[in-house]
Amino acid sequence: MQSKTMVEIASQRTLAKTFQGCLTKNILNEISRVSSINKSALRYGVTPKKAAYKMKNCIFCDILSGSQPCSLVYQDHVCTAFMDIQPVNPGHLLIIPNKHASNLNELEENTGGHIFQVAQRLAAALRKSPVLCEGINLFLADGAVAGQEVFHVHLHVLPRFRSDGFGFKFGPEYFNLPKRSELDDIARVIRESI
């Protein structure tokens, strides 16, 4: 049995379009509630004094230090999650490490693993919440050519629904499948680089 009827989904779409601001407020409340996040524990240890890894001219470090606003969803001693100010869909979240890392190469593996765990938890919260969420994309852009715009690592948690207009564009070679020998050669050079 489907958890959301088509009528409910259509109704949520109308709500999302008409009352996006109001809905976002309710969404935040719901996400906080269903994920059992204790609001008194928010802003855990990340104060301007303690933000020892603050990078100049980094908007995300400014958010962590409190000098720039954010709509906070979750925070622990490793990472912080807040609403993207230009959401692809309502409920679009970003998760960032509390310690500045410009790219994946600078990010400690344990921190990356923790960020992924939090992403799973927030994805579950999105699915439980009233946010229109028929699917989820986790997306991380590493490097300008990959679409990274803020050079403080961030993992996007994107609620998706049918016909939301978002998608990935494939390159012209996508439908020309490589031979097994080519895949094996590439696998070998990557293996040798681990």
3-class secondary structure, 165: coil
Which of 9, 34, 42, 55 is the binder for Zn ion (CB under 5 A)? Answer: 55
Largest CA distance in the chain: 56
* Residue 61 CB, nearest approach to Zn ion (Å): 3
Helix/strand/coil percent split, the chain, to 5: 40, 15, 50
Q: Which residue's CB is nearer to Zn ion, number 92 or number 154? A: 154
Per-residue tokens: 85: 């100010």
Alpha carbon distance 59, 175 (integer Å): 39
* Residue 55 CB, nearest approach to Zn ion (Å): 4
Q: Which of the stretches 65-73, 94-102, 105-113, 173-181 binds Zn ion when contact is defined by CB under 5 A?
A: 94-102
By annotation, the residues acting in catalysis are 154
Report if residue 95 touches Zn ion, rule: CB under 5 A: no
Which of 15, 58, 72, 141 is the binder for Zn ion (CB under 5 A)? Answer: 58
Please report, as residue ranges, which positions from 119 to 148 form the binding site for Zn ion (by CB under 5 A).
none
89 touches 157 (CB < 8 A): no
Q: What are the contacts of 105-111 at 24+ separation with CB within 8 A?
A: 106/153, 107/153, 111/78, 111/79
Which of 99, 152, 154, 156 is the binder for Zn ion (CB under 5 A)? Answer: 152
* Residue 145 CB, nearest approach to Zn ion (Å): 20
Query: Residues in the site for Zn ion, rule: CB under 5 A?
Result: 55, 58, 60-61, 100, 152
